[in-house]
């Protein structure tokens, strides 16, 4: 018998055949045509427009390289992909791996005719997907304008089918506790620690962190509104569900939240001042969170500390001085990879300056969007929004002009990686170099152990 695998997919829309129906039809086809199905790859409730977001599909493509099977059987071409470019790419990969794709509802053709048919079916599937996406978005927008809640229910609520949100009393008490503690002066970090101490979990059973607290404190759902974003527009309407927090309390929390945020941000220096070239590489083995850079004063050495611990999600309080971890990493590189060279542009300073400017532009664009949202949420007045808009827009224009004046030099210089990491180079360049050679650094804070995993073997 001919060895084959089957790929089945049920889209996020409800018009497609179910997984079970596809499997049953494929089994009947395989039995009738002498194919032996050795495995089923299935993606449930996933759109066909992006192959990389379909784990079973990507696993099937990877397995096709190993020669375990010679055929992939699908119900129709729309199950394979709804994106013309990706459809042609992955069909080509299967062909190179000597695997034949069989669609049981579409005719088998010779190579030339099949190429035309693939392009035609791919284009039709992509057009259908795009049209469906627009129809769904339009329908969701209309519902949002009416105040109907169409997203997943947030913490504290349950969403019955085609009905308003229903309060989950046990979770609602936690929501009220979060607002109460925040208005009493506790920070999101302190609230997260308090809830974790009492073994409170998220809907998915995860530990509480500061992001969870901030989302609750700023979600207008809790005061009986529904906020929906589509095509860069924010819709905020009174909803038909029962609020957990009264409007006055919620709005008071927003004022405090934004005041605290402005006070904290006003003390922050540009990222380049605080960054270290090991940022993003150090991981805690207990919570898998990245170690964050902690600034110390009074001549104390700056340190790296578990990000999970800083937001109340991990109990490993271990921290390590930046020079200590730096020396450990440098010694390992000297021992195993002392002669690695790296090519950079001679005018690397100009390139880095341009990179810094572009990052600043993105920061001001985000600030402009936040100012707009603050006005839409009636946190800021029209006068405040107008002033902020003028300031941020002018800043963006100035920085864009400055970035355009920087020319990129194509001259190349070869330099030792160790010289860059130990020299007085820009921290962003050092970080880029470090990530080329280091995959991650694992820290066991409780046992005081450090393991460096390199990208080079």
Q: Which pLDDT score is estimated for 411?
A: 53
Q: In degrees to the nearest 10, what's the CA dihedral of 20, 26, 27, 29?
A: 150
Tokens of 351: 């390139």
Average pLDDT over residues 98-108: 83
Rounded Cα distance, 306 and 447, in Å: 14
pLDDT at 91: 80
Q: Please give the C-alpha separations between residue 43 and each of 6, 19, 59, 69, in angstroms, as whole numbers.
A: 11, 9, 11, 20
The confidence score (pLDDT) of residue 413 equals 60
Q: Rounded to 5 degrees, what angle do the CA atoms 339, 345, 351 make?
A: 125
pLDDT at 418: 84
Mean pLDDT value across the chain: 78
- Rounded Cα–Cα distance for residues 179 and 177 (Å): 6
pLDDT at 315 over 60: yes
Tell me the average pLDDT across 159-165: 81
> Does the domain made of 2-130 have the CATH classification 3.40.50.1950?
no
More confident residue, 10 or 8: 8
Q: How do the residues of the chain divide into helix, strand and coil, expressed in percent and rounded to 5?
A: 50, 20, 30
121 or 318: whose pLDDT is higher? 318
- What the block records as the tokens of 306 is 């578990």
What's the pLDDT score for residue 263? 53
Rounded-to-integer distance, Cα 57 and Cα 43, Å: 7
β strands within 53-200, DSSP E: 71-74, 100-103, 157-158, 166-167
pLDDT in tens, 344-356: 654 444 555 566 6
Q: What is the DSSP letter of 216?
A: H
What's the pLDDT score for residue 172? 94
Least confident of 14-28, 148-162, 252-266, 399-413: 399-413
Q: Where are the domains of the chain?
A: 2-130, 157-267, 273-454
Report the pLDDT averaged over residues 426-431: 76
pLDDT score recorded for residue 346: 46
**Strand, helix or coil at 290?**
strand
pLDDT, tens digit, 9 for 90 and up, residues 295-308: 776 556 788 989 88
Q: How far apart are CA 388 and CA 89, in angstroms?
A: 47
pLDDT band at 114 (very low <50, low <70, confident <90, very high): low
DSSP-based three-state secondary structure for 2: strand
* pLDDT score of 436: 85
- CB-based contacts of 395: which residues, under 8 Å, 6+ apart? 364
For residue 149, what pLDDT is reported?
58
The predicted structure's pLDDT at residue 214:
92
pLDDT tops 80 at residue 130: no
pLDDT digit string (tens) for 45-88?
A: 766 556 677 888 888 888 998 888 999 999 887 777 766 667 77
CATH topology of domain 157-267: Hect, E3 ligase catalytic domain fold (3.90.1750)
Q: Are 59 and 49 in contact, with CB atoms under 8 Å apart? A: no
What global pTM score does this model have? 0.39
Residue among 92, 83, 99 nearest 114 (CA): 92
Q: What is the structure's pLDDT at 328?
A: 92
pLDDT tens digits, 320-371: 988 889 999 999 988 888 888 876 654 444 555 566 677 778 888 887 887 7
Q: Which two tokens stand for residue 117?
A: 């048919």
The CB density around residue 187, as the number of other CB atoms within 10 Å, is: 15
Contact 334, 369 (CB under 8 A): no
CA gap 391, 435 in Å, rounded: 36
| pLDDT of 197 over the 90 cut | no
157-267 matches 2-130 in CATH topology: no
Q: What is the pLDDT of residues 249-282, one digit of tens each?
A: 999 999 888 877 655 544 444 444 446 888 889 9
Instruction: Give 428's contacts (C-beta < 8 A, 6+ positions apart).
Output: 272, 275, 352, 355, 356
Q: Which two tokens stand for residue 315?
A: 């109990």
Percent of the chain with pLDDT over 90: 22
Tell me which DSSP letter residue 53 carries: G
Residues above pLDDT 70, as percent of the chain: 73
Query: pLDDT for 199-216, tens place per residue?
Result: 899 988 888 888 899 999
Residue 50 confidence (pLDDT): 66
> What average pLDDT does range 430-452 have in this prediction?
89
pLDDT band at 440 (very low <50, low <70, confident <90, very high): very high
The H or E element spanning position 284 is strand 282-284
Across the strands, what pairs with 228?
Answer: 235
DSSP 207: B
Q: What is the DSSP string of 202-239?
A: -TTSPBP-HHHHHHHHH-GGGGTEEEEEETTEEEEEE-
pLDDT value of position 348: 45
Q: Can you tell me the mean pLDDT for 110-121?
A: 56
The pLDDT value recorded for residue 284 is 93
pLDDT in tens, 227-237: 766 666 666 77
């Amino acid at each position: 018998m001919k060895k084959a695998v089957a790929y089945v997919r049920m889209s996020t829309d409800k018009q497609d055949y179910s997984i079970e129906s596809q499997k049953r039809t494929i089994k009947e086809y395989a039995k009738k045509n002498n194919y032996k199905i050795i495995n089923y790859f299935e993606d449930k409730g996933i759109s066909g427009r992006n192959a990389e977001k379909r784990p079973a599909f990507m696993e099937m493509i990877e397995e096709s390289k190993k020669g375990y099977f010679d055929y992939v059987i699908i119900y129709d071409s729309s199950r394979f992909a709804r994106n013309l470019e990706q459809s042609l790419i992955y069909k080509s990969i299967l062909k190179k791996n000597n695997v034949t794709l069989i669609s049981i509802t579409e005719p088998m053709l010779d190579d030339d005719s099949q190429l035309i048919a693939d392009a035609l079916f791919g284009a039709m599937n992509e057009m259908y997907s795009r049209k469906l996406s627009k129809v769904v978005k339009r329908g969701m927008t209309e519902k949002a304008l009416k105040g109907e809640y169409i997203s997943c229910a947030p913490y504290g609520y349950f969403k019955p089918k085609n009905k308003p949100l229903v309060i989950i009393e046990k979770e609602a008490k936690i929501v009220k506790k979060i607002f109460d503690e925040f208005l009493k002066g506790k920070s999101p970090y302190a609230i997260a620690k308090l809830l974790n101490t009492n073994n409170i979990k998220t809907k998915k059973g995860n530990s509480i962190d500061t992001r969870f607290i901030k989302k609750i404190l700023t979600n207008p759902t809790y005061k009986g509104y529904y906020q929906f974003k589509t095509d860069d527009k924010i819709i905020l309407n009174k909803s038909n569900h029962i609020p957990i927090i009264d409007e006055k309390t919620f709005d008071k929390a927003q004022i405090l939240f934004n005041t605290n945020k402005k006070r904290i941000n006003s003390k922050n220096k540009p990222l380049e001042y605080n960054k270290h070239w090991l940022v993003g590489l150090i991981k805690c083995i207990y919570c898998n969170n990245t170690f964050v850079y902690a600034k110390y004063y009074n001549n104390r050495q700056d340190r790296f500390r578990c990000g999970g611990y800083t937001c109340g999600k991990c109990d490993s309080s271990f921290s390590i001085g930046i020079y200590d971890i730096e020396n450990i990493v440098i010694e390992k590189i000297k021992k195993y990879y002392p002669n690695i060279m790296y090519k950079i542009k001679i005018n690397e300073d100009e390139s880095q300056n341009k990179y810094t400017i572009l990052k600043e532009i993105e920061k001001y664009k985000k600030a402009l969007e936040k100012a707009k949202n603050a006005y839409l949420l009636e946190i800021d007045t029209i006068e405040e929004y107008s002033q902020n808009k003028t300031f941020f827009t002018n800043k963006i224009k100035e920085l864009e002009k400055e970035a355009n004046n920087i020319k990129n030099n194509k001259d190349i210089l070869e330099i030792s990686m160790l010289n860059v990491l130990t020299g007085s180079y820009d921290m962003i360049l050092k970080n880029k170099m470090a990530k080329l050679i280091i995959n991650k650094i694992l820290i066991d804070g409780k046992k005081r152990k450090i393991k460096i995993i390199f990208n080079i073997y």
